[in-house]
Structure 1
Amino acid sequence: MGSALVHGFAGYFDATLYKDIHLGIEPSVATPNMFSWFPIFFPLRTPVCVHPGSPLEVHFWRCVGSMKVWYEWCVTSPSPSAVHNSNGRSYWVGL
């Protein structure tokens, strides 16, 4: 298998609420008929080339201000990127 060019990351969740009761949007185990939460795409300004067997390390932060909440992210390996969506510049959700 060859190198991969990564353009971003898909964001889903699956939460265990109690014992075998879960809630989530991860496609293979998504809760049926749930319309409250949606997946998110975390794009990279510059795609990252990842070679076979090489690690890809990315960091995500959920940030909150007095009026909004947003995510920030950056790649740290194989080559560092700038922080994306700093201070909710491109996307945020109002509180």
Structure 2
Amino acid sequence: MLDVTNILSGACISGLAKQVAIQVSYDAPSILVHREESTNALDELNLNEHLAMVLEIRFEVQAHQFSCDLLICITERTAGVVVRAIDRLLYEL
């Protein structure tokens, strides 16, 4: 399962980085929750002192009854870089 997740998350993150013309690096994914809503797990984390940009991407392959939620967390320290890159991309449209 983590191998599939690694492929999906790598493709998603690389695609996003290519669109906004930034270089990224990331670690191998891990399982945050199993068989429950991801928002419940995020609520349980003590993130009150930290700000982060969280992207949730839902993957579904109906023919194989496969679904998963991919959470991408961008730290407060680097969120500005991502926001500026997205702003630049939108401006160019």
Same-fold status (TM-score > 0.5): no
| Higher percent of residues as strand | 1
For normalisation by structure 1, the TM-score amounts to 0.27
For normalisation by structure 2, the TM-score amounts to 0.28
Which one has a bigger Cα radius of gyration? 1
